[in-house]
Amino acid sequence: MLDIQKLEVGPLDACCYIVSSKGSEAMIIDPGGDTERILDCLEQKKLHPVLLVNTHGHGDHIGANKELKEKFPDIKICIHTDDAEMLRIHSKTSRFWAEKDIHLHRLAEL
């Protein structure tokens, strides 16, 4: 049975979801900001995220990517190939990403 936690995050209150099943592995969908709230939810549920999914590349859906990647360096980040370039643009024009280049995974690769 899936456990789905819904958080409204970031300046636009975008919906972020933390999805888990049996065990401690979790998927984060659209972490648009409020990294500490996301981390608190993960800690409270004793979850370790292994997958981060961005439904698209707008800032209100990727705002916490950088901090989550720094906290969980092995997390795989997935986005549709049509929006992958938006993440690269954000990495050059904003602080959404860490300084190092981050490999993006297509869902088909996982």
CATH code: domain of residue 93: 3.60.15.10
Token readout for 17 is 């979801």
Question: What per-residue confidence (pLDDT) applies to 37?
Answer: 96
Is 108 a domain residue?
no
Is 69 a domain residue?
yes
Angle ∠(98,108,77) on CA atoms, nearest 5: 15
Question: What per-residue confidence (pLDDT) applies to 89?
Answer: 67
Residue partners of 108: CB distance under 8 A and separation at least 6:
none
Question: What per-residue confidence (pLDDT) applies to 81?
Answer: 84
Is 104 a domain residue?
no
How many domains does the chain contain in total? Answer: 1
Which residue did the predictor score with more confidence, 24 or 102? Answer: 24
Residues 13-50: pLDDT tens digits? 999 999 999 899 999 999 999 999 999 999 999 999 99
15 lies in which domain range?
Answer: 3-99
Mean pLDDT of all residues belonging to the chain = 83
